[in-house]
Amino acid sequence: MAVDYSTLKKGGWMRQKQKNNFSLRVRVVGGNLTATQLAKIAEVAEKYGEGYAHLTSRQSVEIPFIKLENIDDVKNALAEGGVEPGVCGARVRTITACQGEAVCPSGCIDTYAIAKELDDRYFARELPHKFKFGVTGCQNNCLKAEENDVGIKGAIKVDWLEDKCIGCGLCAKVCRKEAIKIENKKVIFDKEKCNYCGRCYKSCPTDAWSHIHGYIVSFGGLFGNNINKGETIIPFVEDKQKLLDICDAAIQFFADNGKSGERFKYTIDRVGRDVFAKKIQDVYNG
């Protein structure tokens, strides 16, 4: 019987150089796997593979050396541990995320919650080429948001509250962009220099900084044969629903305008950066 390799690849089964061997990419959201899932992956790797798993550069797990005749058994075994196959090819890929504010002191957003919503909304959606989301919790940018087709970076918009300030100067000491100066025990805040890291508000002993958690979004990142830093074309996004609407608009632009085998960045270039920017700005302003 003929083997439908295209369908297998779509479902996360990648052909190896060794005949009739496959490396299965499993579905991982935001880099998180439960202990139960990890145990099941280990069990399957031991029973059906060669006793090891590979951690990919995009926070997925691959189990190599699975034989063609064992594919259905592997699917069933993994399902017992709540593990699903991932995807490959021209569709929305694994949503990557750092640990964010749930664990990291620098985190500005709940990165896993965003990754889960994006995964629920877009996982495996068919597109002209692969499409990658990366969610990073803060300006430390551990997930390198701008390498992704759509990158989301946690951010905090702040403003100084003079009546609560005691002029200690700690905010100025922790600011890495020199956006804060202290003159006569008063804060001089240059909003143009602020990068939304939130270090000032987090360090303040008297809550003298108002703060709004939100997102900085970039578009068109690439990191492979060609490299391009994703571009930020809209300001700080305060509302999560608006963030999702912006992601909807970006993916729909690619679905409507992309050519088969063309990455998102090149669709933007071909159709016109101004055309794309207007669609995103309309959603942002709408």
Summarised one tens digit per residue, pLDDT across range 76-120 is: 999 999 999 999 999 999 999 999 999 999 999 999 999 999 999
| The pLDDT of residue 2 | 77
Q: Which residue segments constitute the domains of the chain, with CATH numbers given? A: 12-80 (3.30.70.3340), 96-285 (3.30.413.10)
Which residue is associated with the tokens 């990455």? 263
Mean pLDDT over residues 3-7, rounded? 90
d(CA 34, CA 13): 22
pLDDT grade, residue 3 (50/70/90)? confident
Give percent above pLDDT 70 in the chain: 100
Alpha-helix runs per DSSP H in 150-211: 170-174, 199-203
User: pTM to 2 decimals?
Assistant: 0.95
| The pLDDT of residue 157 | 98
Distances (CA, A) of 247 to 119, 242, 243, 267, 279: 12, 9, 6, 16, 11
- In this structure, is the dihedral angle defined by the CA atoms of residues 157, 163, 164 and 168, taken in order, positive or negative? positive
Alpha-helix runs per DSSP H in the chain: 5-10, 35-48, 71-80, 111-122, 170-174, 199-203, 240-257, 264-271, 273-285
Which residue is associated with the tokens 């069933």? 76
pLDDT grade, residue 219 (50/70/90)? very high
Mean pLDDT over residues 215-226, rounded? 96
> 241 pLDDT exceeds 70?
yes
Mean pLDDT over residues 249-277, rounded? 98
Under a CB-based contact definition with an 8 Å cutoff, are residues 44 and 84 in contact? Answer: no
Residue 278 makes CB contacts below 8 A (sequence gap 6+) with: none
> 1 pLDDT exceeds 70?
no
